[in-house]
């Protein structure tokens, strides 16, 4: 979960319902239609196997935030891609549908999200304006400051 998220009352019941049926693979992304900011559910054994990769994503040397954010763009959803590659069943990436007919189950939590295109200063009047990405099926809102990243290299903290 990111520090730039809000969750509603439906979040925990939605997240824990996957505990009963189990994950379809070692990780279940929030969505597959757009980058998910690495948000989703992960199998603990999978995370333990990839602990070195995860720790490498931490800014332990206190590099400038702009440099670290640029590096992070290439790592977004990396663990989901690794999980897909390790999976014994064919898990698809970046499809608009969460249901995988081949394995007969969902491979992400939300097929749809609603994007409020008008940026808002959600952390106070002087904060960087952010778009709201609403994953209603999971009751999660992600506030994205770098929503223009495909158009520009200008980064906002």
| Residue pLDDT, tens place only, 80-112 | 888 888 887 767 655 667 888 777 888 888 878
The answer to whether residue 146 scores a pLDDT higher than 60 is: yes
Q: Are 111 and 31 in contact (CB under 8 A)?
A: yes
* pLDDT the model gives residue 92: 66
**pTM, whole model, 2 decimals?**
0.76
Chain mean pLDDT for the chain: 80
Q: How far apart are CA 6 and CA 28, in angstroms?
A: 19
| Residue pLDDT, tens place only, 15-59 | 888 777 778 788 888 888 777 788 888 999 999 999 988 887 777
Q: What is the mean pLDDT of residues 62-75?
A: 73
Long-range contacts of 5-13 (CB under 8 A, 24+ apart): 5/39, 5/140, 5/141, 5/142, 5/143, 6/140, 6/141, 6/143, 7/139, 7/140, 7/141, 8/139, 8/140, 8/141, 9/139, 10/138, 10/139, 11/138, 11/139, 11/140
| Residue burial 3-23, b: 16+ Cβ < 10 Å; e: rest | eeeeeeeebeebbeeeeeeeb
* pLDDT the model gives residue 2: 66
The answer to whether residue 136 scores a pLDDT higher than 80 is: yes
* pLDDT the model gives residue 35: 76
* pLDDT the model gives residue 49: 93
Nearest alpha-carbon partner for 30 in 156, 126, 146, 137: 137
């Amino acid at each position: 979960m990111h520090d730039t998220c809000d969750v509603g009352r439906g979040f925990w019941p939605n997240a824990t319902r996957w505990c009963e049926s189990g994950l379809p693979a070692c990780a279940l992304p929030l969505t597959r239609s757009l980058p998910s900011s690495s948000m989703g559910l992960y199998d603990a054994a999978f995370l333990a196997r990839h602990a070195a990769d995860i720790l490498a994503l931490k800014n332990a040397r206190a590099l400038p935030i702009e440099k670290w954010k640029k590096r992070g763009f290439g790592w977004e959803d990396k663990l989901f891609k690794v999980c897909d590659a390790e999976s014994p069943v064919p898990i698809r990436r970046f499809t608009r549908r969460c249901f995988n007919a081949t394995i007969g189950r969902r491979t992400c939590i939300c097929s749809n999200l609603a994007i409020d295109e008008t940026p808002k200063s959600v952390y106070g009047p002087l904060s960087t304006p952010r778009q709201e990405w609403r994953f209603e099926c999971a009751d999660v809102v992600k506030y994205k400051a770098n929503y223009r990243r495909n158009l520009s290299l200008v980064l906002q903290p």
